[in-house]
Structure 1
């Protein structure tokens, strides 16, 4: 029977198990400083149902709130730093968007995000892509491989499934203040509790204000977030949760790249400083306002059948202008225009955008028994619609000396604005059957999508339109031994629309992907320790490829990603826990332009090794203290798709110290110090296919915070 518990459980997370005991807020505050987080045994991202990780025939990496809080991550992108097979450093120190490369697929890496099961309606062909602040989130699930069978269009590398904090029926809250280098300052709060005496209605109010100077000169970051929510248990069988999220980013920080020569290699015996700003202060702007509102409705008809509806409306306004570099001119001057071009130049771009979207997902979930088979059936119908009006301007600026910059230049030429309307509409019907017979777990799913994409020039009346229908599917098989070992095998497919035009000026048909994955999961009986191994191969076909001497694209490309991922989360002793991960990812162009066919794709490390270990003290004056130490190593990163140059391997060290002051007479108060890139290593995180765009990684980041939980 669907009914929320009226009693809060204090859940002490140790990877040797999970215990739940009713504790008062004061008692909870006196608990030792361990990594407190829910030991998530069930996830929704991969199946849209509460399915244990050990019964999911697919790789799902779960990042809990306490994990990224301990490591000082201030974005979803940084929260994934220690997740194998995830590229969280695609654009270096930039924090404007959440770029997450999954299994080597960099295209669409800012458009694979879902919040509470619904797509965050970004527009990947514009600047209207959003970043959800992790202070608002309970956990992050990285679902690897194609997921179109449940979500429609998506990258074959996988999706990032975010779960927001929800109202609770036990009163409590937290406030946090933060200070750090680069003028970092912030304040955040999170309050929740019942509204009425009967505890049928509960609220939650989450908010954050933060600001900082960016690593680069003349650039700042600023954010304001407020997120109210309300849960109403209408009956013991029916629940409604209303959710809203408002975010303002009046200053969006740095988002530029610099040439390979001058960063990885010297230019005339000199290297560009990692704080250099190649733009113009008076022509640099990123102002993003976004608002989301929606609801989650759930009704249980019986113990066997439950209906859900999720709805979200989103609108945003983005104003951006930026001066870019376009490679070296003579001497030490960086060009901020392309000689001979006066249209669509990379020297300067500006855009005013207004996006409006909504999405809804209707689900019916039930259990059925047929003979020896137990079925968990999920039937769904979802719909999403997006309109984005874009006013874009382009231009050229004078060049700038990269080693002795002088600012204050005005544009040489401006072209535009050009007014476009970008529309997307998608309807999907899906069916999933999760079957159990003895220790066998079988998963089958299929989906039919109808997609309409329409790009209209409001200046000239020209229209590019794509009407496409696509079927995708998934099948998985897992055997769960009684000793905690679970081998599995799965196959899944995906599709992804293209933004490129063919020889007739029409949008190319969507690319399609397929993955075969096999692996092994191991959770020792009676513990929460989890060890996973997966081996996969993904092929994405019909990629947009430009043949030499042609100005248009053809859908003939193919890329293959294959590799292996290992992850271990374990409590080695009562005080010592560790998370370790390794990923080998080989991304190869199977069919492409001559210069890159058979080569490896840029930006993805072939080898990725990470480890984080934490130790909780419980003796003497250190009782209540916790120390964390992490290492991230990336190697064999191609700097361009021609594979003529590489990004140097790099190793980063992170550190975290915290002290729960309950033993010192301050229950609920915790002080924390985070230092990321402890050794202040200067490095290039990645280079995009063009050698004109390499991205400096973040310098040493130091911040101290004090929080109070009640």
Structure 2
């Protein structure tokens, strides 16, 4: 049955692709304005490009993360372990074998075309930190090859651009409430000023959201978000300003092994209650925390003249927060600088202990005691077991904070000049300065028998480092239109300087230059008919060296660290786009070669050129890479006047090209889906909307050695909604009610993670929403 369904949908894609048409908006059902937006849109580009549509926005609850709306596009895999995407720690994105997650940041992300500042857990921020779903107009995905002007230091596998909505031209107040399972609730308010000056309008919005963890009975998330945007259009100029603030406290989900999933697929091995045994309570969910606050602001000036288009946009971003965990012991520190409040700055661990007497003196376990604990992490030694201590022994534990802070400011500038009727020259630049701070301190848990409340004064600040990254990207592009044929070629170059400072003054400052070679792009579009176009493109993508390479002493284990180069990926796309007033189809074939992968290698690893490393030493090298090839296809069909059928297909083959450490040449890339199929049926008429969508993800290898094959799964979402238009109720512009069900069949499955350890996918979630506009 499943094979028949898959083959049938694939045949539908092939049939649609064989027809003839182009990139145009639907005219077939102009009597229903909402239906006109259902078609999946794609820009006329020389590379694979897809954008979300109204149906994809309707499929997700208003309370969901904006990352979730792109999951049905071809080539995309999104996994969010938290309820409604409420846990950044467990969020994973994958495109063509490239990943954004805990261990990799290989996909660019921009907000209204401006850089998000990377997607790393430690000081980064994904799009959900900047945008509420109600303020999202669309998300644009460039799989593999992005626009030459796209500003990112990590876009090896393409770029995702999240575009925010503009203010309404008429004054309006919007209020909504969402309620759902796991005590999820959300309040959203937005006020649009309307045109308060000539050509000028603005909006202000605020939301508050909270939910419990979907696993167990403890932990959850709270989030506050504010946004404001102003737009002024004056003759050939458009001026835009936007500010967002996001403050969240998330309790995390933990990765598990494939064997643990098979044993119990509903539990991530974090616990709900305090036992008073520190070794067990290290997995108490409320002690696993992500706290983040993000401010992001930009202003943009855009000019569109007869022959010249120009834009400039300065921006500012401030990120602060911390990651929490409760280590099941207290450290005894040697060395360092003791402050007046008793905090030790620097130094190292001389010993650690779990139990003490009533005066705080560390105790050793009773001689000869062999009693051990079996949970968690395979069990603890006798020193962790209270049975190995005399009555009256006091448990001790720490509360560890890893603090993150970042300030970024920069600007983008772009100019395009039309030379006659066929030639356009485009040049631009992106500059950014980023200062990131990271430090870790340890606090004493006051009474491990009753909870995780901790002493506000840290007993040890383990390290304190600052990183500064300065980026300059320059580019130039020429576009020539020769009748039905459009040719495009360009070059760009990155200049990236990275420095690290040890704020204790114990370690030498470090610096790396991460300048790229000249990177080339080229492409062509040929309009076979008014309805059918063929495209092809090539681009060299670049990811600068990240500060993690020089973060700690691991980068200094050998003084002969060779010069590193930034990572590069050569992307080739070829395909066609087809659309008429009732059907649209796209098919893309791609080949990607990822080179110069930065990998940490140790003495004894099977890597050429590291004979100088002695036992215990290691260093970072440009060794390893990935080769990906595949097909991405989508089709959208309007039929029976008010119905739409959408499907997307992804076939991807990603392999490692070199043997390094755990990676074996020829093995499949860990956690990269090889087969994905989406089918969505939706209905729009007279204010009624409804739909059902299914996504099948085939089996994947989860580890570097390709010994763990993760099971395939199919997720089904369903939704229904009804809108009353203006005039039905006096004084009300609109009323909307909706019900969204995610993972309708309550499927147990493994989502993203890191090689060898995986996050559980969230179970069934039901959300109801009521919105008023007046």
TM range, smaller chain? 0.7 to 0.9
Pick one of 129, 132, 140 that aligns with 2:130: 132
Q: Which residue of 2 aligns with 1:344?
A: none
> How much does 1:699 deviate?
0.4
Deviates more, 1:238-247 or 1:512-521: 238-247
Task: Decide whether aligned partners of structure 1 residues 486 and 195 sit closer, same or farther in structure 2, where only a CA change above 3 A counts.
Answer: closer
Q: Which residue of 2 aligns with 1:489?
A: 536
Deviates more, 1:386-395 or 1:603-612: 386-395
Q: 2-side partners of 1:394 and 1:597: how far apart? A: 41
Task: Decide whether aligned partners of structure 1 residues 616 and 90 sit closer, same or farther in structure 2, where only a CA change above 3 A counts.
Answer: closer
Q: Which residue of 2 aligns with 1:117?
A: 113
Q: Is the 8 A contact 1:246 1:292 kept in 2?
A: yes
Q: Is the 8 A contact 2:40 2:50 kept in 1?
A: no
- Looking at secondary structure, tell me which structure has more strand per residue: 1
The alignment status of 1:166 with 2:166, answered yes or no, reads: yes
Q: Is the 8 A contact 1:169 1:199 kept in 2?
A: no
> How much does 1:318 deviate?
0.8
1:599-642: CA deviation from partner (whole Å, max 9, x where unpaired): 0111121101111110235xxxxx53222001011112112110
Task: Decide whether aligned partners of structure 1 residues 18 and 469 sit closer, same or farther in structure 2, where only a CA change above 3 A counts.
Answer: farther
SS in 1 for 2:655: strand
Q: 2-side partners of 1:675 and 1:123: how far apart? A: 28
Q: Which residue of 2 aligns with 1:333?
A: 375
The alignment status of 1:540 with 2:607, answered yes or no, reads: no
Q: Which residue of 2 aligns with 1:63?
A: 52
Q: Is the 8 A contact 1:308 1:362 kept in 2?
A: yes
Q: Is the 8 A contact 1:90 1:99 kept in 2?
A: yes
Q: 1-side partners of 2:453 and 2:379: how far apart? A: 13
Q: Is the 8 A contact 1:33 1:659 kept in 2?
A: no
> How much does 1:65 deviate?
5.5
Pick one of 20, 23, 27 that aligns with 1:17: 27
Q: Is the 8 A contact 1:102 1:109 kept in 2?
A: no
The alignment status of 1:309 with 2:312, answered yes or no, reads: yes
Matches within 5 A, 1:534-573: 534-545=588-599, 546=601, 548-549=604-605, 551-573=618-640
1:123-169: CA deviation from partner (whole Å, max 9, x where unpaired): 63724434333333211001111438423533321011111122243
Pick one of 558, 561, 564 that aligns with 1:508: 564
Q: Is the 8 A contact 2:107 2:156 kept in 1?
A: no
Q: Is the 8 A contact 1:381 1:430 kept in 2?
A: yes
Consecutive unaligned residues in structure 1, runs of 5 or more: 1-13, 21-30, 43-52, 341-346, 401-405, 618-622
Q: Is the 8 A contact 2:251 2:286 kept in 1?
A: no
Pick one of 474, 477, 482 that aligns with 1:432: 477
Q: Which residue of 2 aligns with 1:422?
A: 467
Q: Which residue of 1 aligns with 2:722?
A: 659
Q: 1-side partners of 2:25 and 2:749: how far apart? A: 34
The alignment status of 1:378 with 2:441, answered yes or no, reads: no
Q: 1-side partners of 2:450 and 2:701: how far apart? A: 33
Q: Which residue of 1 aligns with 2:688?
A: 625
Pick one of 487, 497, 508 that aligns with 1:462: 508
Q: TM-score, normalised by structure 1?
A: 0.82
The alignment status of 1:707 with 2:700, answered yes or no, reads: no
Deviates more, 1:588-597 or 1:672-681: 588-597
> How much does 1:448 deviate?
1.7
Q: 2-side partners of 1:243 and 1:222: how far apart? A: 24
- Looking at secondary structure, tell me which structure has more helix per residue: 2
Q: Which residue of 2 aligns with 1:253?
A: 251
CA RMSD of aligned residues (A): 3.4
Q: 1-side partners of 2:191 and 2:268: how far apart? A: 40
Deviates more, 1:71-80 or 1:275-284: 275-284
Task: Decide whether aligned partners of structure 1 residues 644 and 614 sit closer, same or farther in structure 2, where only a CA change above 3 A counts.
Answer: same
The alignment status of 1:96 with 2:87, answered yes or no, reads: yes
Q: Is the 8 A contact 2:49 2:140 kept in 1?
A: yes
> How much does 1:380 deviate?
0.6
Q: Which residue of 2 aligns with 1:212?
A: 211
Q: 1-side partners of 2:315 and 2:439: how far apart? A: 26
Pick one of 583, 587, 601 that aligns with 2:650: 583
Task: Decide whether aligned partners of structure 1 residues 624 and 298 sit closer, same or farther in structure 2, where only a CA change above 3 A counts.
Answer: closer
SS in 2 for 1:481: strand
Q: 2-side partners of 1:353 and 1:365: how far apart? A: 39
Q: 2-side partners of 1:508 and 1:207: how far apart? A: 45
Q: 2-side partners of 1:80 and 1:449: how far apart? A: 29
> How much does 1:451 deviate?
0.5
Q: 2-side partners of 1:169 and 1:625: how far apart? A: 25
Q: Which residue of 2 aligns with 1:25?
A: none
1:2-50: CA deviation from partner (whole Å, max 9, x where unpaired): xxxxxxxxxxxx9633888xxxxxxxxxx869456486867xxxxxxxx
Q: Which residue of 2 aligns with 1:642?
A: 705
> How much does 1:203 deviate?
1.1
Q: 1-side partners of 2:67 and 2:713: how far apart? A: 18
> How much does 1:330 deviate?
7.3
> How much does 1:337 deviate?
9.8
Q: 2-side partners of 1:541 and 1:339: how far apart? A: 44
Task: Decide whether aligned partners of structure 1 residues 601 and 305 sit closer, same or farther in structure 2, where only a CA change above 3 A counts.
Answer: same
Q: Which residue of 2 aligns with 1:449?
A: 494
> How much does 1:434 deviate?
2.2
> How much does 1:395 deviate?
10
Q: 1-side partners of 2:372 and 2:716: how far apart? A: 38
Q: 1-side partners of 2:584 and 2:760: how far apart? A: 34
Deviates more, 1:553-562 or 1:100-109: 100-109
Q: Is the 8 A contact 2:106 2:154 kept in 1?
A: no
Pick one of 273, 296, 301 that aligns with 1:297: 301
Task: Decide whether aligned partners of structure 1 residues 664 and 332 sit closer, same or farther in structure 2, where only a CA change above 3 A counts.
Answer: farther
Q: Which residue of 1 aligns with 2:190?
A: 190
Q: 2-side partners of 1:582 and 1:284: how far apart? A: 37
Q: 2-side partners of 1:119 and 1:141: how far apart? A: 14
Q: 1-side partners of 2:302 and 2:430: how far apart? A: 16
Q: Is the 8 A contact 2:59 2:717 kept in 1?
A: no
Q: 2-side partners of 1:236 and 1:184: how far apart? A: 46
Q: 1-side partners of 2:652 and 2:481: how far apart? A: 33
Q: 1-side partners of 2:320 and 2:381: how far apart? A: 33
Q: Is the 8 A contact 1:466 1:509 kept in 2?
A: no
Q: How many residues are treated as equivalent by the alignment?
A: 641
The alignment status of 1:671 with 2:737, answered yes or no, reads: yes
SS in 2 for 1:69: helix
Q: Which residue of 1 aligns with 2:672?
A: 604
Q: Is the 8 A contact 2:87 2:253 kept in 1?
A: yes
> How much does 1:70 deviate?
3.7
Task: Decide whether aligned partners of structure 1 residues 629 and 66 sit closer, same or farther in structure 2, where only a CA change above 3 A counts.
Answer: closer
Q: 2-side partners of 1:173 and 1:336: how far apart? A: 55
Task: Decide whether aligned partners of structure 1 residues 70 and 650 sit closer, same or farther in structure 2, where only a CA change above 3 A counts.
Answer: closer
Q: Which residue of 2 aligns with 1:5?
A: none
SS in 1 for 2:56: helix
Matches within 5 A, 1:404-423: 408=451, 416-423=461-468
Q: 1-side partners of 2:381 and 2:651: how far apart? A: 41
1:224-263: CA deviation from partner (whole Å, max 9, x where unpaired): 1111122233x412332221111111x2232421222211
Q: Is the 8 A contact 1:232 1:241 kept in 2?
A: yes
> How much does 1:598 deviate?
1.2
Task: Decide whether aligned partners of structure 1 residues 81 and 612 sit closer, same or farther in structure 2, where only a CA change above 3 A counts.
Answer: same
Task: Decide whether aligned partners of structure 1 residues 149 and 473 sit closer, same or farther in structure 2, where only a CA change above 3 A counts.
Answer: farther
Q: Which residue of 2 aligns with 1:8?
A: none
Q: Which residue of 1 aligns with 2:415?
A: 364
Q: Which residue of 2 aligns with 1:353?
A: 404
Q: Is the 8 A contact 2:139 2:160 kept in 1?
A: yes
Q: 1-side partners of 2:203 and 2:691: how far apart? A: 30
Q: Which residue of 2 aligns with 1:224?
A: 224
Pick one of 307, 318, 321 that aligns with 2:321: 318
Q: 2-side partners of 1:230 and 1:687: how far apart? A: 39
